[in-house]
Copies of this chain bind each other. A is one copy, B any other.
Amino acid sequence: MPKNDRLTSDIVISRLPQYLRTLRQFRGSKKTIISKELADILGYTAAQVRKDLSQFGEFGKQGKGYNIEYLIEQLEEILQINRVWKMILIGFGNVGHGILNYYRTPDAGFEIVSVFDIDPELIGREVHGVPIRPMNEAKTFIQDHHIRIALLAVPGSEAQNVANQLIDYGIKGILTYAAQNIVVPEGVQIQYIDPISSLQRITYYL
């Protein structure tokens, strides 16, 4: 799997989950799909879809399209989601509570195994079978359970500090729900869930 120039690659990588999501929708209803169908649904061109996928292998046959099950399998392997990733959730306010509910979806490939918070009223409780532990146990937990991914639902003003701590403890990927930029060192991945930015992209066109 050639990992190209980082900037180009990031954009291509960001499209792979979209291809995967679309393919899964067609799973069961048909066996193959052509690049134009994928392109039309996602608003790209067929050439773009073919170019993106060709960076990772020869998945389709000229004129025959892609075998859906095979391409799903390959994309799952490329994205490393042919396994379940255990994650921790930091912060159990309104947003954190919503996040825990969200990830109860089965077979998403991602599982929250522990929540951490600083509120003594929350610590020790169990929600949907997931225990809420004190923040000062995060280090041991991350290291004992080899956790690599953390979801951040802390106030924006705390986000950078908490992220620094987590990275220090061994976390390699952070998905943050705070609308605050977080600076991470090389080798650590950061992604933002920021509905406000998405809405701003909508209003630009209205």
Number of copies: 2
A42 on interface, CB distance cutoff 8 Å: yes
Q: Which secondary structure characterizes the binding site on chain A?
A: helix
Considering only CB atoms and an 8 Å cut-off, how many residues of chain A contact the other chain?
Answer: 56
A181 on interface, CB distance cutoff 8 Å: yes
Stretch from A60-68, A129-137, A192-200 at the B interface:
A192-200
Query: Which residues in B have their C-beta under 8 angstroms from that of A192?
Result: 198
Q: Scan residues 65-120 of chain A and give those whose CB is less than 8 A from a CB of chain B.
A: 78-81, 85, 87, 94-95, 97-99, 101-102, 104, 108-110
Cβ–Cβ contact B79 & A203, under 8 A: yes
Q: Scan residues 168-198 of chain A and give those whose CB is less than 8 A from a CB of chain B.
A: 172-175, 179-181, 183, 189, 191-198
Q: Scan residues 1-41 of chain A and give those whose CB is less than 8 A from a CB of chain B.
A: 11, 13-14, 16-18, 20-22, 25, 41
